[in-house]
Amino acid sequence: MKGTFSSYDPATGEGTITPTRSGVSFAAATGFFLADKAYKFKLPLTDKNLEKIELGASVEFDEPKGAKGKATNLRFTS
């Protein structure tokens, strides 16, 4: 899946990703932020990719298998 980083806490390595539809997030296209699904993620604080995380930056990820699962296999895109 493709998405954008919608929140991130550098102290814990946790945040959320909002999926994009047709290249634009549903929330950005409609202005209705509550309807868009957000997927949680967590990176180890020792991960070299932590510096690449910026709000609004694009990312590809594997969708969680369960309702309470976290997004995995983050692939940073430019």
Which structure tokens are listed for 47?
Answer: 């991960």
The helix/strand count (H/E) of the chain reads as 1, 6
CATH code of the domain in which 47 resides: 2.40.50
Question: What's the total number of domains in the chain?
Answer: 1
C-alpha closest to that of 4 among 68, 21, 42: 21
Q: Encode pLDDT of 7-63 as tens digits.
A: 999 889 899 999 887 555 555 555 554 445 789 999 888 888 788 888 999 999 998
Q: Is residue 72 scored above 70 in pLDDT?
A: yes
Boundaries of domain holding 51: 2-76
